Amino acid sequence: MRTRTLVFGLTLAFLFIYGAHSVTITITNNCAYTIWPADQTSAQQSQLSNTGFELASKASTSLVVPAPWNGRFWARTGCSIDGSGKFTCATADCGTGQVACNGNGGAPPASLAEFNLAANGGQDFYDISLVDGFNLPLSITPQASCTVPNCAANVNEACPAELQVKGFDGSVIGCNSACIEFNQPQYCCTGAYSTSTTCKPTNYSMFFKNECPQAYSYAYDDPTSLFSCTGGPNYSITFCP
Contact indicator for 124, 18 with CB cutoff of 8 Å: no
Q: Which of 74, 207, 216, 239 binds ligand NAG (CB under 6 A)?
A: 207
Q: Which range binds ligand NAG by CB under 6 A, 4-12, 70-78, 164-172, 229-237? A: 229-237
In the complex, minimum distance from the CB of residue 206 to ligand NAG, in angstroms, rounded to a whole number: 8
Q: Examine residue 184 and tell whether it contacts ligand NAG (CB under 6 A).
A: no
Strand partners, 223: none
Q: Which of 9/160 has CB closer to ligand NAG? A: 160
124-150 exposure pattern, b = at least 16 Cβ within 10 A, e = fewer: bbbbbbbbbbbbbbbbbbbeeebeebb
Contact indicator for 111, 130 with CB cutoff of 8 Å: yes
Structure letter (DSSP) for residue 45: S
Identify residue 159 by its one-letter amino acid code. Answer: C
Q: Find the DSSP H helices in the chain.
A: 2-18, 155-158, 178-182, 185-188, 203-211, 222-225
Q: Which of 27/31 has CB closer to ligand NAG? A: 27
Q: Pairing state of beta strands 123-129 and 215-216?
A: parallel
Site string for ligand NAG, 118-147 (x = CB under 6 A): -------------------------x----
In the complex, minimum distance from the CB of residue 181 to ligand NAG, in angstroms, rounded to a whole number: 11
Q: Examine residue 97 and tell whether it contacts ligand NAG (CB under 6 A).
A: no
Q: Examine residue 24 and tell whether it contacts ligand NAG (CB under 6 A).
A: yes
Q: Examine residue 213 and tell whether it contacts ligand NAG (CB under 6 A).
A: no
Nearest to 138 by CA among 147, 127, 123: 127
Q: Examine residue 183 and tell whether it contacts ligand NAG (CB under 6 A).
A: no
Q: Which of 117/240 has CB closer to ligand NAG? A: 117
In the complex, minimum distance from the CB of residue 233 to ligand NAG, in angstroms, rounded to a whole number: 5
Residues that bind ligand NAG (CB under 6 A): 24, 143, 160, 203-204, 207, 232-234
